[in-house]
Structures are given as structure tokens and as C-alpha cells.
Structure 1
Amino acid sequence: MITLHFLITALVVVMAPGTGVIYTLALGLGQGRRAALWAALGCTIGVLPHLAAATLGLAAVLHTSALLFAAVKWAGVAYLLYLAWQTLKDDGALSVQETKTRQSGWQIARRGALINILNPKLSIFFLALLPPFLSGNTASATTEMTAMGAVFMAMTFGVFALYGIFAAGARRQLLGSAQVMAWLNRSFAGIFAALAGRLAFERA
């Protein structure tokens, strides 16, 4: 059920810096508020398959299938390393530059969605997060999990959007120096690479 305890727990989870937050910050700094909002939307959409899997019980299948888990995990690792490379390239999609790189909103959102879709731990995470807040009525369990999932997604978009807007606001102050931009790009690339390394060592 949607209780104050659930809302606080969900907010803490959403606010914790992760891959989606880093992606949104990078887009906010590199391309401004519009791109950051599209990034937040994409990351939120990427949560949906994992929430659905947890609600339908498919997360348990992923948890018990070593082959399926490994396939999704290594695809996620490869994708995070690709994002790191895109951050380091001068003309990369995530490169922080003084001149804004214009990309379509759906391109930005698609990358954000893939970041979460290709993280197999999310399904297992939601399978552990949501059931403790159920009322205990088996007849309404699916409805309750769906409602909690919808609230979680709304909070995800709201918090990520705030992160992105903050980054876009700081863009003008931070991008006046080529040295600062190079430092930001190396930092974002290093974070994406580190997250790829962490995911590589995850086990079902």
C-alpha cells in the first residue's frame, strides 16, 4: 500500500545517485534543460519493464536463470562502456561542450531507457522493494504493486528532472573553461566505466 513509509523509502532510493542520475546530469550540462528532461523521461520509461516483471513474477525467473541474467548484464556492461566512449569523444553524444549539440528528444530518451532496461538487478530490486508494503490481500496485490510502481515512476521523473534542471542551470558557470569541460568529460566517462565494472561483478 502507498504509505508514508513507502513514500520515504522510494524517495531515498530515487535520490541516490546512480547511472540514470549521472546520465541526466551529463545531458543537462552538455545540452541544457530540454535534453535533461528528455533524459529523465527516458530513464523513467526504462524502469517500467522491471516494475512489470516484478509485478508479474518474471523477476524471479530472471533471478533463477543464470544465462538470462548474464545476457542482460553483459549487454548492460557493453552499453555503459559505449556511453563512456561517447562522453570522451569530441563529437560524442554525451560530450560536454560549450556549443550545444542538438539531438532529438527521442534519441536522448531511448538511451536513457536502455540504461535501465539493460540493468537486470532492477527487476530483482523491485521484487524485494515492493512486496513488504503490500496489505496482505492477495486479491488486490497486483493492483497495489501497480499503484506503487506508478508512484515510484512519477517520483523518478520528478527527482531526475530536478537534477537535470540544476545541471542545466550550472552549465553557463561551468563551461567557460576548456579545462573544466575536459575534466567533466573525463569524470563522466570514468563514472560510466566504473558503473560498468560494478555491473560486471553483479550476480543474480
Structure 2
Amino acid sequence: MWEWLVFVAIMVVGQFSPGPDMLLLTRTALAQGRSAGCWTALGIACGLGIHAVVAVAGVASLLAQGGWLEKTMKLSAAAYLTWLAYQLIRSGVKARKLTIPEIGVVPESSRWSAWKRGLFCNLLNPKVAVFLAGVTAPFLMDAHDWIWPTVLWATIVIEGVLLWCLWVCLLQQPAIKRSYLRMAHWFDIAFGLALLGIAVTLLLS
């Protein structure tokens, strides 16, 4: 239970870290309202689910084989997570502010269009699968069947849908929007430190 709660906390930070998905979701929610934002969130979650299957299944299979494949995967994941952590922490220290351009009045898009935008925004970002592989690797070290990997996959997708839809609803409040723009760089720093901790765990395991 404790291990699962740690994973949930890490994914919360990751899902709220500024990036392509979050920027698209935020812009859609602000410009087109709650409905379009929630359908965009569902599209992003569908893409995330596909990436998560590839990542979790691949990591579990490689770890089950052991030997040089396991060591190579650990080193590769740790190296990528360290690099990503450095980029995020540097961005946060420089206090680069997340900006959302003025879009003006936008006609209400269909649910299908909003869903497709979210889906392809996530699917066309190859770093998502690599990131998920690195994050899930430490939590799959002692997995002996597919129950625990399935739990991690479900956590990634369901948590994403719930939190992103909640974010869309909160963004309808002007005060929330202003606060997020001011605090975006702190999310970068927190996420970077979390990734760095995961990388160290991989190397020491």
C-alpha cells in the first residue's frame, strides 16, 4: 500500500508539470470551456494509456529476464531521468514563466475534435513512454506476475483523467489561473527533484 501511495504522489507531480499536454489542456480549458477541456483530458489519457502499456509491459518483461538487459535498462532509464531532472530544475531555477497566449473568442469545438487533439498531443510525444518506463522501473523490481503492473497502469490512466478533469474545472476560476502561472516553475523544480530521486533509486537497487 505504501509503495502504491508513493507512486501516486510521483505521478501527481508529473501530471501537473508544465509540458505539451498540460499546455494544450490549459489553453483549451481557458479558451473553450469545461466541456472541451474534459474531452481533451480524455484524449490525453487515452494516449497515456497506450504509452503506459508499452512502458509497463516492456519494463516488466526486461526485468523478468535479468542479466545484462536489466542492467542496461536501469542505466538507460537512470541516465534519461537524470537528464530530464537537470532540464526541469534548471528551468525552474531560471523561473521561466509559463505563458498562455490570448486566443480570443473560439467557436465551441466538437467533443470528437477535442478528444483527437488530446490523443495526438500525447501520442506524438515519444518521451512519454520513456519517462513512464523510467518512473515505473523501481516499482516493478519485485513484480512476479501481471497484477502489480496492471495496478500501476490503471493508476496512471485513472489518476490522469480525474486530476486533469479537476484541473479543467478549477481553471474556470480566474484566481486559480493566475496562481498557476506564478507557480509553474516550482512544479518544474519539484518534478525534477522527484525524477532525480528515482534515478538514484534505480542505480542503487
What TM bracket, shorter-length normalisation? 0.5 to 0.7
Q: Could you state the TM-score of these two structures normalised by the residue count of structure 2?
A: 0.59
Q: Deviations over 1:115-136 (max 9, x none)?
A: 1101111111111111211361
Aligned-residue Cα RMSD (Å) equals 3.0
Alignment of structure 1 residues 126-165 onto 2, 5 Å = 126-134=132-140, 136-138=142-144, 140=145, 142-165=146-169
2:171 and 2:104 map into 1 onto residues whose CA distance is: 13
CA distance in 2, matches of 1:114, 1:146: 24
User: Are the equivalent residues in 1 in contact too, given 2:45–2:160 (CA < 8 A)?
Assistant: yes
Mapped pair 1:114 → 2:120: yes
1:101 aligns with 2:107: yes
Partner residue of 2:86? Answer: none
**Count of matched residue positions in the alignment of Structure 1 and Structure 2:** 139
In the TM superposition, what whole-angstrom CA distance separates every residue of 1:26-59 from its partner, at most 9, and x where no partner exists? 1111111111111111111110111111133289
State the identity as a percent: 25
Q: Which residue of 1 aligns with 2:202?
A: none
Alignment gaps of 5+ in structure 1: 64-86, 89-94, 175-204
Which secondary structure state, in structure 1, belongs to the residue aligned with residue 174 of structure 2?
helix
Q: Distance in 2 between the 1:151 and 1:3 partners? A: 9
Q: How does 1:56-71 map to 2 (within 5 A)?
A: 56-57=57-58
- TM-superposition CA deviations, 1:12-33 (whole Å, max 9, x none): 1112122111111111111111
Cα distance between partner residues in 2 of 1:108 and 1:168: 17
Residues of 1 paired with 2:115 and 2:165: CA distance?
13
Provide the secondary structure at the position in 2 that maps to 1:37.
helix
8 Å Cα contact 1:29-1:96 kept in structure 2: no
Native 8 Å contact 1:31 1:96 kept in 2 = no
User: Is the Cα contact below 8 Å between 2:143 and 2:149 reproduced in 1?
Assistant: no
Quick check: 2:52–2:156 contact (8 Å CA) kept in 1? no
Match of 1:125 among 102, 118, 131: 131
Aligned-partner Cα distance in 1 for 2:103–2:171: 11
Which ranges in structure 2 are unaligned for 5 or more consecutive residues?
63-72, 74-99, 179-205
C-alpha contact (below 8 Å) 2:29/2:171 kept by paired residues: yes
